[in-house]
A and B are shown apart, each in its own frame.
Chain A
């Protein structure tokens, strides 16, 4: 899996957008970029994934740089329930997800 680099922590206010960055400069052309999050005392849960194009779903948006060396997870309106550890993972076909330390997101009311 491609090595990813994320900030250790970020803070946000409720109802404001959050942009979580991820660098993956060693990613190969066929590696998908996955984002998972882990709420306190729960297992990781899928957020979004993409290959080259930007992606949107009900939870978030994923903006992938044209050179694919970085991506940004966008939470459009943070809520208190979005406080979690967010993991960015570069995943090759036929391999398991390898989790790094992720970014701990704090959301204040």
Chain B
């Protein structure tokens, strides 16, 4: 398996523009997570899906952020409109959904909003 695949790897956009980050989890995994990492705040959980259903979205900063998982093999994280403070590395991870198993992380998308 190629692991968790995120795209794009880097994104530079202007403030106010819509940004869409994409994630393909490992086949067979039923849990998917989106995290954001900055120097100031560390690695923060944004949202957690199980069987394509959002279970915990308490980490989503505000209404500008939305995440979808239309099927088991694809998820998106959208920011509209983007702001400079959204600049961060966004990670997607997937797992079999049990605390007895490991989560696998993608390489991340580095987002810069200017």
B25 on the interface (CB 8 Å rule)? no
Partner of B48, one of A31, A96, A101: A96
- Nearest A residue (CB) for B91: A43
Q: Is B42 in contact with A49, judged by CB distance below 8 angstroms?
A: no
Whether A42 lies near B107 (C-beta < 8 A) is: yes
**Which of B56, B104, B108 touches A95 (beta carbons < 8 Å)?**
B56
The verdict on A92 contacting B99 (CB below 8 Å), with A43-B93, A98-B45, A101-B42 known, is yes
The smallest beta-carbon distance between B99 and chain A, in angstroms, is 4
Contact A44 B91 (CB under 8 A): yes
Q: Is chain A's interface secondary structure helix, strand, loop, or mixed overall?
A: loop
Q: In the complex, A31→B98 CA distance in Å?
A: 11
Q: How far is the CA of A36 from the CA of B35 in the complex (A)?
A: 14
By size class, the interface of chain B is 20 to 34
- Alpha-carbon gap, A93 to B98, bound state (A): 6
Q: CB distance A93 to B99 under 8 Å?
A: yes
Residue in B56, B100, B106 whose beta carbon sits within 8 Å of that of A43 in the complex: B106
Q: Give the secondary structure class of B's interface.
A: strand
CB neighbors of B among A64-109 (8 A)? 87, 91-101
The total of Cβ contacts below 8 Å across the A-B interface reads 56
Check A43 against B105 for contact (C-beta < 8 Å): yes
**In the complex, what residues of A have CB within 8 A of residue B93's CB?**
43-44, 97
Task: Kindly state whether residue B114 has any CB partner on chain A within 8 Å.
Answer: no
Cβ contacts under 8 Å, B103 to chain A: 36, 44, 46, 97
The answer to whether B107 and A97 touch across the interface, beta carbons within 8 angstroms, is no
Q: Do A91 and B106 have beta carbons less than 8 Å apart?
A: no
Residue of B nearest to A38 (CB): B43
Tell me, rounded to whole Å, the shortest Cβ–Cβ distance linking A23 to chain B.
18
A41 to chain B, nearest CB (A): 9
